[in-house]
Structure 1
């Protein structure tokens, strides 16, 4: 008979605690836990207490409309519950640092976008056939602006005389929306439904990744005609920045899809090139900074940069053109162009290897020009294991990506996780996006804890909140916090700190941004402690 491994229960418990603590030293907040201030430690305990209380009360109640309620459950079903919790309302005040994974075409509340569009006399809408109670269920509107000499006098999208594909002024289309379709409010609801994903779609009719991505892509087909119009573009960006500031985000790296090459000018002509988009972006940064300064809140918004992005649908030859434009924009706007990315559904579109000659040439051209545009690749946003989408992780790392967008399948690759930890490649994790796009059924099944427990830097991101309804970053922070007994306020603080640390800001600017964040974090922790006393 073998000798017992432990001489007593006390020895076993002591070794067990040491064993657990040894593993937890891998987490990035471990050092912070030892060094954190008394006020942060108190705030962390208070947040844990509130989480426990709400798990036993709010998240254990029976509901006729929601048969299964639990913290970290499906976001679209639980959103109305989340916003009523004490924990969520505390997190709205948390300084969140930087938002590093944000697709500009889906960053403003859809009702705000529609309101902006209804103010524009040039804005028109069309549909492929006459709208009625049957066709409206699947019909997508297409929006665009027309120069004044081409303005339409057609009365309605739902009139029997409507010619399929003809443009109708958006204000007229809304006014004339028939009562049986809900009138003007029915028009609004129809458009909003085409710009967003609802629970029935995410968890019922479109529950596979391919089906939900079809719906997801359709929302951009609708929104592009509303956003890519110069008068709306500037207002849209400003709405995005101001809403982010109110949610505690102080710095942004926005992915802009430069695929369309031009947008419409104020008079309705499609002639505005990418350099003007960037120029407007810069102007809005200055305007928001000035507004914050006038309010005595200059630390609330530290600026924004652009990650030049292209969807993975173009030929390698076409990609050459976009890469040259990116290089030209970097030379003209060196402080604004932060990186380069290829975006879109990895499972169905081209992998990184499809563009390998172009990507290598892009790096060579940078050396020739004396500039640096880091790759910040989407990679591993897939359920696949060994598929081309999963393989994008290898190529992203070999091509020296600064960060990895999503990295959902990274947890399947121990070697790649070690490399990310060693090289400091942060993972831009978008938990709510991943759940709604059916990579996971709930936050409790998300691989984020695996990545965090390996000591890999993680930054939380909202991805496309206009489509998902997770505006700002508070919702994503909430879902992560309530889904783990191990994660506390100190963990969230480390994630926020890393969002600045792993941004593309230069060393001096980053140091100042971190100092500003630390000050705001200390004040926030004091507020949490005051709530709990």
Structure 2
């Protein structure tokens, strides 16, 4: 028989154990709940974090995530090279063969807002179409790179000896090999990029050289018109519904040596755009942004600003503003042209010329280059191109967010130009995790043989968002491209309606192809 006193002690011990166990379990459960909530709250801050997917969208998102997770976890668990983050020059073949890229190609991506006119139409078209025309000549420079030009008759005395491309092709043992040689001579793709382009300075030299190679081919009026039409075709084929194109607007020429001015260029762009939208009503359209070069004299920039004001006033729904382009590290900062850029504000009444400045496309900090960000903000830029150095300037980043100035992020361009090697370390990734006003574009995609926009969306999805960032991330990027475009309110509304229709078709199409057993309600 148990003594009552011992029984009381036994019962007290049991109760203490139960209380301790229950308390421990409660502490553990409380901790895990707080942890789950903290992670959820953090993930909701990222781009797309607040979007709620429909059941059919969730199904497609799960399929995206299955493919994404498979690639990421294979690298993490097997300690193998993570190819999506490797140089695009090397990773492109593997990306091209991925299911995810094929899905992203099918996805309606809205608009591409940061593009340069001479470097967005595929090199394949340039070689297979433009160089097959009459009066197209080529010469090989001292650097072994080919220059193209359209002449009625080539100059007899020139440092570079001109030959008819048609004649050279006819003499070639293989037409296909000849055309491939021309393409490789233009392309920046390299099998050993670190050796070919050891740093930012070297790749910029080659990059700038590309424009000299093709300028006098693309800007021949008949080719120029067809080239732009082809640009629109290729972006539409990549499921982009709208583009904004930067260019000088001047320099289009005829065989009789007539060189046309900026207004001619704007009118040509506008006319082709109108014709294209009439032919393809599922494409929203395009707008242009006039751009000058950072290595120009101040007086030339002033003339361009005045011309941009005139064109913006005359074509307010198409010629949307002005930018300065070129290697920020090598050429003049915005401050060098401050009087010229302030000129519109000195008019009576002040003229609000929209600016779309390239700014902070650099790894340097505390220099004239990243100080361009401050000038872009003070000059009330409508958008900022690249903004790569922005995360190093918390006050400037705070102002950009407060003013809701979108940043045009071009992932592959930044990698190709040696700003970042592993895209997972891209400085914009941290801002994207905090739902910064960001759009993804492709800059000069043709020069490194990227798709019009899909490759950059792929890199953003695989490298610049978390493993758990799903279809909401991509959907928000597409929505951002319309929201932050230079379209009017009514144009954005129309574009959004069109995009939503295409998005629903995309969701339905993916389910029907990849999940045929699922019955849409």
* Shorter-chain TM-score above 0.5: yes
- Which residue does the alignment assign to 1:9? 28
**Residues 342 and 377, structure 1, Cα contact 8 Å, conserved in 2:** yes
| Cα distance in 2 between the residues matched to 1:414 and 1:6 | 42
| Cα distance in 2 between the residues matched to 1:217 and 1:73 | 24
- Which residue does the alignment assign to 2:263? 275
**Residues 104 and 256, structure 1, Cα contact 8 Å, conserved in 2:** yes
| Cα distance in 2 between the residues matched to 1:508 and 1:515 | 11
* Cα distance, 1:5 vs structure 2: 13
Which secondary structure state, in structure 2, belongs to the residue aligned with residue 335 of structure 1? Answer: coil
- Which residue does the alignment assign to 2:6? none
**Quick check: 1:241 aligned with 2:232?**
yes
String of CA shifts for 1:335-360, please: whole Å, max 9, x gaps: 21012111111111111100001111
* CA gap 1:57/1:12 in 2 versus in 1, 3 angstroms: closer
Which secondary structure state, in structure 1, belongs to the residue aligned with residue 59 of structure 2? Answer: helix
Kindly report which structure 2 residues correspond to 1:11-410, keeping only aligned pairs within 5 A, or say none: 11-33=30-52, 36-55=53-72, 68-128=81-141, 138-147=143-152, 150-151=153-154, 164-176=159-171, 184-185=175-176, 187-200=178-191, 202-258=193-249, 261-265=250-254, 267-292=255-280, 298=281, 300-365=282-347, 368=349, 372-410=352-390
Per the normalisation by structure 1, the TM-score is 0.86
* Cα distance, 1:18 vs structure 2: 2.3
* From 476, 500, 514, the counterpart of 2:482: 500
| Cα distance in 1 between the residues matched to 2:141 and 2:37 | 67
Decide which structure has the larger Cα Rg and report it.
2
Kindly report which structure 2 residues correspond to 1:437-448, keeping only aligned pairs within 5 A, or say none: 437-448=417-428
| Cα distance in 2 between the residues matched to 1:200 and 1:126 | 25
- Which residue does the alignment assign to 2:505? 523
String of CA shifts for 1:219-243, please: whole Å, max 9, x gaps: 1110111111101000000000011
Per the normalisation by structure 2, the TM-score is 0.88
| Cα distance in 1 between the residues matched to 2:93 and 2:191 | 15
* Cα distance, 1:60 vs structure 2: 8.8
Matched length: 491
* CA gap 1:59/1:27 in 2 versus in 1, 3 angstroms: closer
* CA gap 1:163/1:25 in 2 versus in 1, 3 angstroms: closer
* CA gap 1:128/1:72 in 2 versus in 1, 3 angstroms: closer
| Cα distance in 1 between the residues matched to 2:78 and 2:344 | 56
**Residues 123 and 449, structure 2, Cα contact 8 Å, conserved in 1:** no
String of CA shifts for 1:182-210, please: whole Å, max 9, x gaps: x6555434432332212346322212111
Which secondary structure state, in structure 2, belongs to the residue aligned with residue 87 of structure 1? Answer: helix
- Which residue does the alignment assign to 1:133? none
| Cα distance in 2 between the residues matched to 1:364 and 1:230 | 36
Which secondary structure state, in structure 2, belongs to the residue aligned with residue 338 of structure 1? Answer: strand
* Cα distance, 1:127 vs structure 2: 3.4
**Residues 433 and 463, structure 1, Cα contact 8 Å, conserved in 2:** yes
- Which residue does the alignment assign to 1:132? none
- Which residue does the alignment assign to 2:410? 430
* CA gap 1:167/1:499 in 2 versus in 1, 3 angstroms: same
* CA gap 1:363/1:189 in 2 versus in 1, 3 angstroms: farther
Which secondary structure state, in structure 2, belongs to the residue aligned with residue 271 of structure 1? Answer: coil
Which secondary structure state, in structure 2, belongs to the residue aligned with residue 139 of structure 1? Answer: coil
| Cα distance in 1 between the residues matched to 2:46 and 2:74 | 30
String of CA shifts for 1:454-511, please: whole Å, max 9, x gaps: 2211111010011111121111111122223132111110011010000011111111
| Cα distance in 1 between the residues matched to 2:44 and 2:458 | 24
- Which residue does the alignment assign to 2:15? none
* CA gap 1:290/1:360 in 2 versus in 1, 3 angstroms: same
- Cα RMSD of the aligned pairs, angstroms, is 2.6
